[in-house]
A and B are shown apart, each in its own frame.
Chain A
Amino acid sequence: ESYKVMLNGPAPWGFRLQGGKDFSMPLSISRLTLGGKAAQAGVGVGDWVLYIDGESTSAMTHIEAQNRIRACGDRLCLTLSR
Chain B
Amino acid sequence: TFTAWCNSHLRKAGTQIENIEEDFRDGLKLMLLLEVISGERLAKPERGKMRVHKISNVNKALDFIASKGVKLVSIGAEEIVDGNVKMTLGMIWTIILRFAIQDISVEETSAKEGLLLWCQRKTAPYKNVNIQNFHISWKDGLGFCALIHRHRPELIDYGKLRKDDPLTNLNTAFDVAEKYLDIPKMLDAEDIVGTARPDEKAIMTYVSSFYHAFSGAQKAETAANRICKVLAVNQENEQLMEDYEKLASDLLEWIRRTIPWLENRAPENTMQAMQQKLEDFRDYRRLHKPPKVQEKCQLEINFNTLQTKLRLSNRPAFMPSEGKMVSDINNAWGGLEQAEKGYEEWLLNEIRRLERLDHLAEKFRQKASIHESWTDGKEAMLQQKDYETATLSEIKALLKKHEAFESDLAAHQDRVEQIAAIAQELNELDYYDSPSVNARCQKICDQWDNLGALTQKRREALERTEKLLETIDQLYLEYAKRAAPFNNWMEGAMEDLQDTFIVHTIEEIQGLTTAHEQFKATLPDADKERQAILGIHNEVSKIVQTYHVNMAGTNPYTTITPHEINGKWEHVRQLVPRRDQALMEEHARQQQNERLRKQFGAQANVIGPWIQTKMEEIGRISIEMHGTLEDQLNHLRQYEKSIVNYKPKIDQLEGDHQLIQEALIFDNKHTNYTMEHIRVGWEQLLTTIARTINEVENQILTRDAKGISQEQMNEFRASFNHFDRDHSGTLGPEEFKACLISLGYDIGNDAQGEAEFARIMSIVDPNRMGVVTFQAFIDFMSRETADTDTADQVMASFKILAGDKNYITVDELRRELPPDQAEYCIARMAPYTGRDAVPGALDYMSFSTALYGESDL
Residues in A lying within 8 Å of B, measured CB to CB? 11-13, 15-20, 22-26, 28, 30-32, 34, 44-46, 61-63, 65-67, 69-70
B835 CB, nearest partner CB in chain A, Å: 11
Q: How far is the CA of A30 from the CA of B760 in the complex (A)?
A: 8
B132 CB, nearest partner CB in chain A, Å: 192
Q: How far is the CA of A28 from the CA of B759 in the complex (A)?
A: 10
Complex contacts, A45 vs chain B, CB 8 Å: 754-756, 758-759, 762
B843 CB, nearest partner CB in chain A, Å: 8
Of the stretches B603-611, B687-695, B845-853, the one at the interface is B845-853
Complex contacts, A31 vs chain B, CB 8 Å: 755, 759, 856
Q: Which of chain B's residues has its CB closest to A61's CB? A: B850
Q: Does chain A have a CB within 8 A of B854?
A: yes
Q: Which of A11, A12, A19, A67 contacts B853 (CB 8 A)?
A: A19
Complex contacts, A13 vs chain B, CB 8 Å: 857
- A sample of 19 inter-chain contacts (CB < 8 A) reads A12-B856, A16-B854, A16-B856, A17-B854, A19-B853, A24-B767, A25-B767, A34-B752, A44-B755, A45-B755, A46-B755, A46-B758, A46-B762, A61-B850, A62-B853, A63-B850, A65-B855, A66-B846, A66-B857
Which of under 10, 10 to 19, 20 to 34, or 35 or more describes the interface residues of B? 20 to 34
Q: How far is the CA of A26 from the CA of B765 in the complex (A)?
A: 11
Q: Are B856 and A63 in contact (CB under 8 A)?
A: no
Complex contacts, B853 vs chain A, CB 8 Å: 18-20, 22-23, 25, 62
Complex contacts, B409 vs chain A, CB 8 Å: none
Q: How far is the CA of A24 from the CA of B762 in the complex (A)?
A: 13
Q: Are B854 and A30 in contact (CB under 8 A)?
A: yes
Q: Which of B752, B754, B847, B854 contacts A18 (CB 8 A)?
A: B854
Q: Are A67 and B856 in contact (CB under 8 A)?
A: no
A12 CB, nearest partner CB in chain B, Å: 6
Other than the given A15-B857, A25-B767, A45-B756, 20 more pairs (CB < 8 A) read A16-B854, A16-B855, A16-B857, A17-B855, A18-B853, A18-B854, A19-B853, A20-B850, A28-B762, A30-B759, A30-B762, A44-B758, A45-B755, A45-B758, A45-B762, A46-B759, A46-B761, A63-B846, A63-B850, A66-B855
Q: Are A62 and B755 in contact (CB under 8 A)?
A: no
Complex contacts, B4 vs chain A, CB 8 Å: none
Complex contacts, B762 vs chain A, CB 8 Å: 18, 28, 30, 45-46
Q: How far is the CA of A19 from the CA of B755 in the complex (A)?
A: 17
Q: Does chain A have a CB within 8 A of B833?
A: yes
Q: Are B828 and A63 in contact (CB under 8 A)?
A: yes
Q: Does chain A have a CB within 8 A of B830?
A: yes
B6 CB, nearest partner CB in chain A, Å: 209
Complex contacts, B855 vs chain A, CB 8 Å: 16-18, 62, 65-66
Q: Are B857 and A11 in contact (CB under 8 A)?
A: yes
Complex contacts, B763 vs chain A, CB 8 Å: 30
Complex contacts, B766 vs chain A, CB 8 Å: 18-19, 23, 25
Complex contacts, A20 vs chain B, CB 8 Å: 850, 853
Q: Are B830 and A66 in contact (CB under 8 A)?
A: yes
Q: Are A70 and B833 in contact (CB under 8 A)?
A: yes
Q: How far is the CA of A19 from the CA of B850 in the complex (A)?
A: 8
Q: How far is the CA of A24 from the CA of B847 in the complex (A)?
A: 17
Complex contacts, B857 vs chain A, CB 8 Å: 11-13, 15-17, 66, 69-70
Complex contacts, B847 vs chain A, CB 8 Å: 63
Complex contacts, A11 vs chain B, CB 8 Å: 857
Q: Which of chain B's residues has its CB closest to A26's CB? A: B768
Most A Cβ at <10 Å: residue of B754, B762, B768: B762
Complex contacts, B830 vs chain A, CB 8 Å: 63, 66-67, 70
Q: How far is the CA of A17 from the CA of B854 in the complex (A)?
A: 5
B850 CB, nearest partner CB in chain A, Å: 4
Question: Which residues in window 804-857 of B have CB below 8 A to A?
Answer: 828, 830, 833, 846-847, 849-851, 853-857
A31 CB, nearest partner CB in chain B, Å: 6
Q: How far is the CA of A65 from the CA of B828 in the complex (A)?
A: 12
Question: Which residues in window 754-799 of B have CB below 8 A to A?
Answer: 754-756, 758-759, 761-763, 766-768
Complex contacts, A16 vs chain B, CB 8 Å: 854-857
Q: Which of chain A's residues has its CB closest to B846's CB? A: A66
Q: How far is the CA of A25 from the CA of B768 in the complex (A)?
A: 9
Complex contacts, A12 vs chain B, CB 8 Å: 856-857
Q: How far is the CA of A45 from the CA of B758 in the complex (A)?
A: 6
A25 CB, nearest partner CB in chain B, Å: 4
Complex contacts, B846 vs chain A, CB 8 Å: 63, 66-67, 70
Most B Cβ at <10 Å: residue of A15, A25, A32, A66: A66
Question: Which residues in window 177-193 of B have CB below 8 A to A?
Answer: none
Complex contacts, B756 vs chain A, CB 8 Å: 45
Complex contacts, B761 vs chain A, CB 8 Å: 46
Q: Which of chain B's residues has its CB closest to A69's CB? A: B857
Q: How far is the CA of A35 from the CA of B529 in the complex (A)?
A: 98
Q: Which of chain B's residues has its CB closest to A17's CB? A: B855
Q: How far is the CA of A20 from the CA of B846 in the complex (A)?
A: 14
Q: Which of chain B's residues has its CB closest to A22's CB? A: B853
Complex contacts, B767 vs chain A, CB 8 Å: 24-25
Most B Cβ at <10 Å: residue of A16, A25, A69: A16
Q: How far is the CA of A61 from the CA of B855 in the complex (A)?
A: 12
Most A Cβ at <10 Å: residue of B761, B828, B847, B854: B854
Q: Which of chain A's residues has its CB closest to B761's CB? A: A46
A28 CB, nearest partner CB in chain B, Å: 6
Most A Cβ at <10 Å: residue of B846, B849, B853: B853
Q: How far is the CA of A45 from the CA of B855 in the complex (A)?
A: 14
Complex contacts, A67 vs chain B, CB 8 Å: 830, 846
A48 CB, nearest partner CB in chain B, Å: 9
Q: How far is the CA of A28 from the CA of B768 in the complex (A)?
A: 11
B783 CB, nearest partner CB in chain A, Å: 13
Complex contacts, A17 vs chain B, CB 8 Å: 854-857
Complex contacts, B856 vs chain A, CB 8 Å: 12, 15-17, 31
A64 CB, nearest partner CB in chain B, Å: 9
Most B Cβ at <10 Å: residue of A17, A20, A25, A30: A30
Q: How far is the CA of A62 from the CA of B851 in the complex (A)?
A: 8
Complex contacts, B768 vs chain A, CB 8 Å: 26
Q: How far is the CA of A13 from the CA of B755 in the complex (A)?
A: 17
Q: How far is the CA of A63 from the CA of B846 in the complex (A)?
A: 8
Q: How far is the CA of A45 from the CA of B756 in the complex (A)?
A: 8
Q: How far is the CA of A46 from the CA of B854 in the complex (A)?
A: 13
Q: How far is the CA of A66 from the CA of B850 in the complex (A)?
A: 8
Q: Which of chain B's residues has its CB closest to A64's CB? A: B850
B790 CB, nearest partner CB in chain A, Å: 14
Q: Which of chain A's residues has its CB closest to B754's CB? A: A45
Q: How far is the CA of A34 from the CA of B828 in the complex (A)?
A: 31
Q: Which of chain A's residues has its CB closest to B853's CB? A: A23
Q: Which of A18, A26, A32, A65 contacts B755 (CB 8 A)?
A: A32
Closest 8 CB pairs of A and B: A46-B758, A23-B853, A45-B755, A45-B758, A63-B850, A62-B850, A25-B766, A17-B855
A59 CB, nearest partner CB in chain B, Å: 15
Q: How far is the CA of A46 from the CA of B758 in the complex (A)?
A: 6
Q: How far is the CA of A33 from the CA of B503 in the complex (A)?
A: 70
Q: Which of chain B's residues has its CB closest to A16's CB? A: B856
A47 CB, nearest partner CB in chain B, Å: 9
Most B Cβ at <10 Å: residue of A15, A18, A20: A18
Q: Which of chain A's residues has its CB closest to B763's CB? A: A30
Question: Which residues in window 717-767 of B have CB below 8 A to A?
Answer: 752, 754-756, 758-759, 761-763, 766-767
A44 CB, nearest partner CB in chain B, Å: 7
Complex contacts, A46 vs chain B, CB 8 Å: 755, 758-759, 761-762
A38 CB, nearest partner CB in chain B, Å: 8
Most A Cβ at <10 Å: residue of B752, B756, B759: B759
Complex contacts, A18 vs chain B, CB 8 Å: 762, 766, 853-855
Q: How far is the CA of A10 from the CA of B856 in the complex (A)?
A: 14
Q: Which of chain B's residues has its CB closest to A14's CB? A: B857
A15 CB, nearest partner CB in chain B, Å: 6
Q: Which of chain B's residues has its CB closest to A18's CB? A: B854
Complex contacts, A24 vs chain B, CB 8 Å: 767
Q: Which of chain B's residues has its CB closest to A76's CB? A: B857
Q: Which of chain B's residues has its CB closest to A24's CB? A: B767
